[in-house]
Amino acid sequence: MTKAQRATADVFLTALKALPKAERDAVVVRIARDKAFARDIRDLALIADRRGESSRPFREYLSEKNRR
């Protein structure tokens, strides 16, 4: 993430946190109901959770997947 992207994300997060709870909840619900947005958020959360895991070659994954 670039410095500009971090700055933009910080501005949006600060604004979201500054909203009263009911308004903040409404924004989060709208994001969650947007299928593409919700999918992106799930993907990003999964990436963040698994960032410390070791990786493996893609061909190894495909080989394992094809054996199932």
Residue-wise pLDDT tens digits, 5-14? 999 999 999 9
Answer yes or no: is 8 within a domain: no
| pLDDT per residue rounded down to tens, the chain (68 residues) | 899 999 999 999 999 999 999 999 999 999 999 999 999 999 999 999 999 999 889 999 899 888 87
CA distance 39 to 58: 22
Answer yes or no: is 1 within a domain: no
Answer yes or no: is 39 within a domain: yes
Domain count, the chain: 1
0.85 cut: is pTM over it? no
Answer yes or no: is 60 within a domain: yes
Answer yes or no: is 12 within a domain: no
CA distance 57 to 30: 37
Answer yes or no: is 4 within a domain: no
Note down the domain range covering 49.
20-67
Answer yes or no: is 44 within a domain: yes
Answer yes or no: is 59 within a domain: yes
Helices (H), the chain: 3-18, 21-33, 35-50, 58-67
